[in-house]
Structure 1
């Protein structure tokens, strides 16, 4: 009987030793992590009546009448800059810029307005952060109220799914805010 008991325990010990392996578990669902390089800015100036800082990673293309498209090919995004001269029509220009922003209210969850005042450079404006699945997540206008009026908006070449594009949207929005804050009239 003792031999049978010892044999049983030996068999049990061998079975437990051989069968003990690391438990295999399925991998948890991974989340895509989008890392972008730290932005480096350089001043941009040409024949137009204003200058600004822009990300060195971006590609700038001049359009007509001192308008620009600043492209981010890796993120499939573009910042569109338009310039207009003020000819006693500042009210109309302001109304149009605000109207453009609030056309996104249908899809937007929230629109945060951030006034901007730089008395030294005589740049006054508004920066809009648009949350939700709107076509644009940021817009701005800047003016000196006398001669110059600049608007900017960012668009992505993808379906506006805010959760999916949020890292890229934040990156480009920060660049656009830097552009507005460094705007100088010539």
Structure 2
């Protein structure tokens, strides 16, 4: 049994040494891993800082570029709007002149048409007045003739000749002295 104890004791000692060695190796590995990780983290941190600085620079450049872009766009938009406004005003002025000419021509055309219609109406009225004048004149003449005939017939029918009963006495005749032209 003592051999078992001594084997167990040896085994225990060896196990403890083995555990110490393993523990030492684990600790070394952990230290190396820790050093490695720390170095990598520092490297990553440096890269991140560099990236952030680069990003800040990029952001500043981007903001500068965007501001310039916005200014350029605003200038271009103002120029475009000025051009559009100038062209619009020009075209509206031309349109107004054309519209004015069109209205003037239309007004002249309407005036001519009104004048032509007035002339036609005047001709129709003159024509109708001639007809009416002729008809009225004939009617008046017919009425006058009818009145004369009627008047004459009424006068003949209802008037009786008035005879004046005066005896006509012969008036003494005076003798005119006879003039003898040969005696003188």
Query: TM-score, normalising length from structure 1?
Result: 0.25
Higher helix content, 1 or 2? 2
Query: TM-score, normalising length from structure 2?
Result: 0.25
Rg bigger for which structure? 2
The structure, 1 or 2, with the larger RCO (C-alpha pairs under 8 Å, 6+ apart) is 1
